[in-house]
Each structure stands twice: as structure tokens, then as C-alpha cells.
Amino acid sequence: MKPSNPIDQFAVSASSFCRWCEAAPSEQADRELRSREVRRLLARLIADALALPETNPGNSPDSVRATDDELKALTPRLADLPVDKYGVYFWPADLQSDPVVASLIDDLQEIYRDLRDGLWLYEQGHIDAAAWQWLLLFEIHWGHHASNALHALQGQTANTSYGAAVLIGGKTSHTSALKDLGGL
């Protein structure tokens, strides 16, 4: 059953994402299924973060940051996705800037670090402090990583789905295949 409190719901989503990152790469599921799963987790995190209320952190202890070694330990799982390096605009509204190279592994590690820090506060009973930290860092840090990662994974999915579109009616382009499907 889904928690009715948005802070508790976010904690469930954050915990699910962290568990996914910590799990060993599966020999059973293919890369596309793993990509779909992490896209679902990222989309849920973003949606649940947007529902977090503004809170006052009060007097709470500093959270326990994940170490660089702990983040590196996640690499085998995170490297088992169909894409890592991708181009992104640091500030998309700046049309004069050039894209920079970003790393999906780095994105997922940064999200993990910020979420896990808040989970530590949440598990210690500092609920408002955890919500405050999650929301603040969503706005200034991990939210950028999450939306960029989701965009990169979705773009990769669309790119590899091109072959499926071409098979529909023997069409040789997305446009003609989508027209046949009623998409254009």
C-alpha cells in the first residue's frame, strides 16, 4: 500500500532507488529491462520530490555522507546500463553554450549520495530534516542529475527503438512508421 504522507512516499521511492543501485548486476535481465527499471525509478523520484512539502530542518545532526569508495562500489551495477557518456547543456536556456559530456554513472552516484544522506536522517527519526534536505538538494543538485539521466536513457531507448519502428510496414523512417501508427 502506498503511503499517504508525501514524505513517507518519497522515503519509499528513495529507498527503492538506493536498493536498485546497491544490487549486483543481474545476469537474468537484459540492459533494456534495466534501463526501463531505472527510468521508472527516476521518474517516480522526480514526481515524489515535487510533492515534498517545505519543512523546517530544526536541530538535526549532520547526515552521514556516502564515501567515494562506497560510490565506486556501485559502478559495476551502474555500468551495466546501455549508455554512460552523453551530451547535455549545463544551462539549457543558454542557446549560445555548447553541450558538455556527462556521465550516467556519475549522475546515478550523485543521486544515490543525496538520497542516502536524507534516508539516514529519516531513519534516525529526523523526518522534517530529511524532507528539507531532499527538497533542497532536488532543487539545486540531484534533480538536475535525475532529469539529465532520465533524458539520456529515454534518448537511448528512442534511438534503439528505431529498428522496431522501421519494421512496422517495412517503412524506412520514423516519420513514415509513425504516420502508419497514427502518431503524425
Give the pLDDT of the chain (184 residues) as one tens digit per residue.
567 899 999 999 999 999 999 987 765 567 778 889 999 999 999 999 999 999 998 887 877 788 889 999 999 888 888 889 998 887 878 888 888 999 999 999 999 999 999 999 999 999 999 999 999 999 999 999 999 999 999 988 777 655 444 444 444 444 444 455 554 4
- Please give the pLDDT value at position 166: 42
Q: What is the pTM of this model?
A: 0.82
Q: For residue 94, what are the domain limits?
A: 6-180
Domains held by the chain: number: 1
CATH code: domain of residue 48:
1.20.120.1550
Residue 27 falls inside a structural domain? yes
Residue 14 falls inside a structural domain? yes
- Non-local (6+) Cβ contacts of 157 within 8 A are 32, 35, 36, 39
Cβ atoms of 112 and 77 closer than 8 Å: no
Residue 118 falls inside a structural domain? yes
- Please give the pLDDT value at position 167: 41
- Please give the pLDDT value at position 144: 95
Residue 73 falls inside a structural domain? yes
Sign of CA dihedral 75, 110, 90, 88: positive
- Please give the pLDDT value at position 62: 79
What is the rounded CA–CA span in Å between residue 52 and residue 5? 9
- Please give the pLDDT value at position 170: 45
- Please give the pLDDT value at position 168: 45
- Please give the pLDDT value at position 169: 44
